[in-house]
Amino acid sequence: MIKLLKIEYQKIAPYKTFWVLFGLYFAVLGIIIFGTQSFINEFFVDVRKNSPIPIPTVSLYNFPDVWQNITYLGGYFKIFLAVLIVILVSNEFSFRTIRQNIINGMSKSEFLKSKLLFIFSISLASTLFLFISGLILGLTHTTYISFSKVFNNSYFLFVYLLELFSFLSFAMLVGFLVKKSGFAIGILLLYSYIIERILWYKIPEEISEYFPIRMIGKLIDVPNTALMKIFGINFRNFVSFPDIAIVIAYTILFIFLTSLLLKKRDI
Amino acid sequence: MKETILSINQLSKHYGRIRAVDNLSLDIERGNVYGILGPNGSGKTTTIGIILGVINANSGSYKWFGNEPTNNDRKRIGSIIETPLFYPYLTAIRNLKIIADIKGLGYESIENVLKTVDLFERKNDVFKTYSLGMKQRLALAAAMLGNPEMMILDEPTNGLDPQGIADTRDLIKRIASEGTTIFLASHLLDEVQKVCTHVAVLNKGKKLFSGDVDEVLTDTFTIEIASDNLEELQKTLNDFPNLHSVTKDGDKLTVRVKGKTNGRDLNSFLFNKGIILTHLAAKKKSLESYFLELLSDKK
């Protein structure tokens, strides 16, 4: 396992495109997570002036709410990582280095394993980034800190890890299926943001709510802030186990389909 | 009894209606320098793709080292496939490190193989800056990593300049002389003849002919002769020193003689034995035309 991860690392270590995109991802993620609060504050100053009812202060960074708030925000940026994965996978086809890897003695399942390990590592890196950011933000914004308060909702981090891993497995499948990076990125974006969304409206809710991108996206629901309560909107502030089970099933399906493609097709 | 390294059994692969490989069988023994010779599109590269696990055959089987194939066999084989495949943004060294890691080798031999193919000076340049010839040489270096016991070379001199071609052939011969088994695919008769000990001629996926290179591809010269007594003539011919083969062709004998002998030598030899020829026609047949004939014979 370490060996496969080392090989993956060798492939990207001096690859500038990868590091630029990867760095950009964390920069944007950091700015959004650390900057959303002040954006909201600015916004509320304006709103309060004209509001007939008093609007409560919204704090995103209090323990334990911070975990759901930042993992929810972070979920919007997983597409960055997905594009990276698509590029790395389709590169192996356009450079035909997958062929070279196999000929030199890697098995097809080892090749798939190395990509999965890589996807997991990237998901883990992003989760750790949120964990550290959450700790910093929580500790500096919460008045009364207790151990249980800090870690109460930290399971959102694990759900976030699953969300990323599942979506990146989907991106990997698209990369293996389409093989041309530009085209594959197009398909990934088109399906995630347009095709599936159109289907949500065309197909009855009972069915379309189980579509993969939707399921992955709603693992962590919109945080229930005090503001939402005023408007009478009540989102889930927990994670449903059936949702997790379905997303895990989807992830297994994506990996299975990828391995099928790898086995059946000539490389 | 020699050890069979690779055994291909009735292998077939078709793309739609095109039969890229058609019921191909062959055995390669340890120490062979085995050439597959055939024009472009005769199925050489497809065959190599199949035995290296990247193309799925429609039927038939193959065995490596006497066993069902696994990916670990490929770690014992150094291969060059039609075009050099490397990560374009990585240096030669880094590309070879990845291959060494896959094969489970240390990095010690990387510098050596780069020196052997004369790329040591460029070892820290990225692959995409290489010329075609350099890319081909890096592929050869990659195939040589870890001194594999078997090498598969698909058109190894493709894209090289004349000096590069000569160097590569010398290198292959040197590697072969150290006991490495070699499987070489080429469309160049000359190359197979210069390098190989065994050959299979392939056309449209079918094996037309296989055997010893000396048997199949010696530079021979064909002479048609006849005399009043063909049997006696045939008997006497057996004593001719440079004889390659004799076949009876109606009322004439078709004689293949080796190398530099010609009709005059044969005639004077037979005259000295007391045989007077009634017919003698030299049919100049070069190796190339023999090769082309092999390919056109069985359409």
What is the structure's pLDDT at B290?
Answer: 65
Mean residue pLDDT of chain A comes to 90
Tens of pLDDT, residue by residue over A61-118, are 888 888 999 999 999 999 999 999 999 999 999 999 999 999 999 999 999 999 999 9
Q: Tokens for A246, please give them.
A: 């379905």
Question: Position of tokens 């088109």?
Answer: A190
Q: Inform me whether the C-beta atom of residue B166 falls under 8 Å from chain A C-beta atoms.
A: no
Question: For residue B152, which of B161, B144, B160, B162 has the smallest C-alpha distance?
Answer: B144
Give the residue ranges of chain B where pLDDT is below 70: 1, 215-220, 259-260, 284-299
pLDDT at B298: 47
Amino acid at A17: T
* Complex ipTM: 0.88
Q: Is the pLDDT of residue A246 over 90?
A: yes
Beta strand extents in chain B (DSSP E only): 4-15, 18-29, 33-37, 59-64, 77-80, 150-154, 181-186, 198-203, 206-212, 220-226, 243-249, 252-258, 279-283
> How far apart, in whole angstroms, are the C-alpha atoms of residue B23 and residue A7?
38
Give the pLDDT band (50/70/90) at residue A188: very high
| Contact between B13 and B21 (Cβ < 8 Å) | yes
Domains of chain B, earliest start first? 4-216 (3.40.50.300), 219-297 (3.30.70.980)
Is residue A197 classed as helix, strand or coil in its secondary structure?
helix
Strands B181-186 and B150-154: parallel
Q: Render A138-167 in DSSP notation, one character per residue.
A: HHHH-SS--HHHHHTTTHHHHHHHHHHHHH
B14 Cβ under 8 Å from any chain A Cβ = no
Which residue of chain A comes nearest to B100, CA vs CA? A104
Percent pLDDT > 70 in chain A is 93
Q: Is the pLDDT of residue A214 over 50?
A: yes
Q: Inter-chain contact B87–A97, Cβ cutoff 8 Å?
A: yes
* Strand, helix or coil for residue B101: helix
Q: Residue A6: its pLDDT value, please?
A: 95
The confidence score (pLDDT) of residue B43 equals 92
Residue B71 is encoded by which pair of tokens? 């990916």
Residue A3: list chain B partners with CB under 8 A. 101
Q: What is the pTM of this model?
A: 0.86
**pLDDT over 90 (residue A123):** yes
Structure token digits, residue A144: 């009364």
Asked whether B236 and B270 are in contact (CB, 8 A), the reply is yes
What are the phi and psi torsion angles at B5 (to 5°)? -85, -50
| Residue A57 in this model has a pLDDT that exceeds 80 | no
Q: What is the pLDDT of residue B287?
A: 59
Looking at chain A, which residue has its C-alpha nearest residue B96?
Answer: A10
Minimal CA–CA distance to B36: which of B153, B143, B151, B166?
Answer: B153
The ranges assigned to domains in chain A are 17-264
**A90 Cβ neighbours under 8 A, 6+ residues apart:** A175, A178, A179, A180, A181, A184
Q: Is B54 on the interface with A (CB under 8 A)?
A: yes
CA dist B141 and B136 (Å) reads 9
What strands, in cross-sheet order, belong to the sheet with B18-29?
B18-29, B4-15, B59-64
- pLDDT 10s digits, A222-232: 886 655 666 66
Q: In angstroms, what is the C-alpha Rg of chain A?
A: 21
Nearest-neighbour CA in chain A from B195: distance (Å): 24
Residue B68 has a pLDDT of 94
**Cβ atoms of A72 and A130 closer than 8 Å:** no
pLDDT the model gives residue B299:
42
DSSP state of A194: I
Contact B154, B44 (CB under 8 A): yes
- CA quadruple B183, B69, A254, A119: dihedral sign: negative
Asked if B292 has any chain A CB less than 8 Å from its own CB, the reply is no
Residue A80 CA to residue A54 CA, distance in Å, equals: 39
Contacts of A103 in chain B (CB under 8 A): 52-54, 74, 79, 81
Q: Is the peptide bond before B84 cis (omega within 30 degrees of 0)?
A: no
